[in-house]
């Protein structure tokens, strides 16, 4: 996996931390945050505050069962945001920090939870504060499950012109990947081996690489059908920006209307979704 922002690695390590009892997790909040003054806007620029949030999430979101990771994450996030809302600037910072982190982790359920502004109720937010919150979440709202995927038109590495919205495929897999990411190669290999990419699914990929020639050679070696694209702007290319890509691999499964129906973190999640939605 290749990540755009290095500090997110700390959040990824959460899945490796020692087992913590649920009783300890529930008892932590008051003890953890009693000495933190959430009314102090200086928290926004405090590395110690950011580190404390990461440490808290590190210890409270793993109980040895990854199936519970998302639900435990939402509980822990709520504990922080409940305290942060006494200062909307701090709340906005925490929300942005969490959205960035859990997006990079591929935890779609947690991201969707954050997009509902946890712990805020109607009347607690001014119009100006609401605009600021919406500006933070706007890029994520555009590519959440249920949204229509951003359109794309370009010339593939084989010289063909392709436009997403003109595709007649019933299902489209959009994959953002990196040439130097072994996990990306493994994900794409499993997609090729286990899915019919000639009739049931259309594969569209966007690669981070040193050159188009490198992408073309790798695609040929992997025997990947579909449409494949390269842009020397890399992270700043239009497709990466439109889809708010901050890590690779990032995968979107689209239906015939080009709505995002799944954003799988790994092959197992994609396989489970397909099995459950035949």
DSSP result, 85-154: TTSHHHHHHHHHHHHHHHHHTT-HHHHHHHTT-TT--TTSS-HHHHHHHHHHHHHHHHTSTTSBPPP-EE
With b for 16 or more beta-carbon neighbours within 10 A and e for fewer, the 152-164 pattern comes to bebebbeeeebeb
Instruction: Give the whole-angstrom CA distance, residue 86 versus residue 124.
Output: 10
| Tokens of residue 270, six digits | 């994609």
Long-range interactions of 216-220: CB distance < 8 A, separation 24+ = 216/157, 216/158, 218/179, 219/157
| Tokens of residue 250, six digits | 């990032």
237 and 168 Cβ atoms separated by less than 8 Å: no
pLDDT number for residue 26:
44
Within 10 Å of residue 190's Cβ, how many Cβ atoms?
15
Instruction: Give the whole-angstrom CA distance, residue 108 versus residue 102.
Output: 8
pLDDT number for residue 14:
43
Strand partners of residue 154: 162
pLDDT number for residue 29:
58
270 and 253 Cβ atoms separated by less than 8 Å: yes
Query: Where do the DSSP E strands lie in the chain?
Result: 2-3, 153-155, 161-163, 172-178, 202-208, 227-230, 247-248, 250-254, 260-262
Token pair 């008051």 in the structure block, residue? 30
Helix (H) or strand (E) holding 194: helix 182-194
pLDDT number for residue 106:
80
Ranges under pLDDT 50 in the chain: 5-27
CA angle 255, 98, 45 (to 5 degrees): 145
């Amino acid at each position: 996996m290749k990540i755009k922002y290095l500090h997110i690695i700390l959040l990824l390590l959460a899945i490796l931390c020692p087992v913590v009892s649920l009783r300890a997790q529930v008892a932590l909040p008051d003890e953890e945050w009693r000495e933190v003054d959430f009314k102090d806007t200086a928290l926004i620029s405090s590395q110690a505050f950011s580190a404390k949030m990461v440490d808290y999430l590190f210890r409270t979101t793993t109980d040895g069962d990854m199936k519970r990771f998302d639900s435990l994450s939402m509980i822990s996030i709520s504990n922080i945001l409940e305290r942060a809302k006494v200062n909307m600037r701090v709340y906005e910072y925490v929300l942005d920090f969490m959205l960035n982190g859990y997006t990079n982790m591929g935890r779609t359920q947690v991201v969707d939870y954050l997009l509902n502004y946890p712990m805020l109720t109607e009347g607690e937010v001014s119009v100006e504060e609401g605009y600021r919150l919406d500006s933070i979440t706007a890029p994520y709202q555009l590519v959440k499950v249920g949204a229509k995927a951003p359109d794309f038109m370009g010339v593939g590495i084989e010289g063909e012109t392709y436009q997403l919205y003109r595709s007649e495929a019933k299902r489209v897999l959009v994959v953002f990947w990196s040439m130097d990411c072994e996990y990306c190669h493994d994900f794409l290999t499993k997609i090729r081996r286990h899915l019919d990419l000639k009739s049931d699914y259309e594969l569209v990929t966007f690669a981070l690489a040193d050159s188009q020639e490198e992408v073309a050679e790798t695609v040929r070696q992997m025997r990947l059908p579909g449409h494949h694209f390269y842009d020397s702007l890399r992270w700043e290319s239009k497709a990466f920006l439109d889809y708010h890509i901050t890590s690779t691999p990032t995968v979107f499964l689209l239906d015939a209307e080009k709505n995002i129906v799944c954003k799988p973190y790994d092959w197992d999640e994609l396989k489970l979704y397909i099995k459950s939605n035949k």
